[in-house]
Structure 1
Amino acid sequence: MKKFVVLITIIFAGISFFSCEDLDDKQEEPQLIIKFRFDPNQVRLNNLGQPSSVAPGNAAQSPDINFISAHYFELAPTAFTQLGDGTVLYHAPETTEGGAVAIDFDQAVIVGEGEAFLKIPLSQVAQGNYEYVRVSLSYQDYNISVRNNGVDYDGRLASFVGYNTYINTHSIGSNSFPVNANRLQGYWAFALNDFPYATSGQAPAGATTVPNPIASTSPIPAGSCVVTGKFTENLVINGNESRDVVVTLSLSINNSFEWQEVTADGKYEPSIGENVVDMGLRGLIPSYTK
């Protein structure tokens, strides 16, 4: 009987040992993880990556971001790396359903602050020394304040800042917006939170700010939303990483929702003809942890 007990103990110990080995073998390899952060106090930049104030005759507010999406992500070694010549790690699905090539909104990856937007095995990331990040933003969902007849209301705005987006039907809360067509950069839709009011519109062509501090050496196409940011300390991928590398893209939302004023009171009042002129993010500061 004692020999039997000893034998059973050895067998179970062996099973336990090999099970642990199997679990270790199945552990995920280290990943490159991309997340977003939204900062209303981060410096507000113009298209050339220089500090910028709100244009005369306009007013702006810093929105409260709920969700965001992007359709392109690239690591660039230097300021002379041309768009597309770096390590391109993500390009979202596109479609010609609406005619011209456009981002397929139905397949967009949409996340909130701090959520993983991308997870890529580090073995698939080219080894290198990277100074810049380029990310093409495509969609924002955020809360803003509007005024009507002297009363302020809260509402949500869907902002499509990608170069061109094919949209079937999108929604804000219980409000549906059937589009079934392409919409160029600057299309937006808005709905009040507690009242049955919804509307949509289009910001002027070329009005969306897209900060690119290396525009003189590595320009981006007109109408795109490829925001460029520089690491404080270069990101080095050497192929020997044993832990995840988390890259956080801090986006400036400092007065990023901008409109043309009719009444100069700093309040967005669409009912009197105050029109949206800019919904672009106002800068990118990438950082990482290893």
Structure 2
Amino acid sequence: MQRMIKDPNIENGRHLVDHFRYIATSSHQLEFQEKGNFIAISSREGPKGGNYILGVGEDKTEFQYFIETFKQKKCSFTWFSTPLTPQLEMTLQAFGLEKANELIGLSFNLDNFVNVTQPSDDIRIKEVRSTEDFVHWCTVHATVWNKSLENTLSFFQGFHLNLDKPEIVRLFVSEMNGHCVGSSALYMQDDIAGCYWGAVLPDYRKKGLATLMLEKRLQVAQAQGCKKVVAQCLPSSKKIFQKSGFLHECDFALYRYKISQENVR
């Protein structure tokens, strides 16, 4: 019997979609819609909140519905999908979306993981277990991505509410000399884990913090029985993942649609 080959675009993309679905359904501040292989997440706070469309495939009918919905609401939004094809890019541009950056899908076989990096005495990777730690986690994320702390706390509310469910999601902060300077998340579903939301404050980069947070998540995923880890990153972070053994698996479309403040009023 011939074994079916898994499509890395689908597996990597669906894990990202499932992760955002978890965020949306865990938070009272987010609305969630699903149509076919695409989902839309929108903030109840309207245009100033976080709005996303994510999916797998190129069904024009599915994502056209969500694009037009956000446009009618006069909301800016971010688009993630895989596979990345010239036809898809032409379609997104025709809808008025602009390419934000390249986004790479990677994967790692946990059978190959050996934790080798040891942090220096002034660095600590700590799991988030309290409200105070969660605020620190969100503060790093808000600073790196130029978001308000209020909106960041609101968007990730589901993480805070589910800190007592470590079999699904784990949050980590990296501390240097007692100061919180990095944040990251691990989302686990069945035997696949995803490394998401990694961020390090600008003044503390190139000190090995991103690698330490990545290896910490791999260690936890392996201990939880996961077999594979997926991730998505910008080209600037690709070397961090590849140095730890991740392989370039697929490419994502990362586009944005921006509404001017004049149109929001």
TM bucket, shorter chain: under 0.3
| TM-score where L is the length of structure 1 | 0.22
The structure that is strand-richer by fraction is 1
| TM-score where L is the length of structure 2 | 0.23
The structure that is helix-richer by fraction is 2
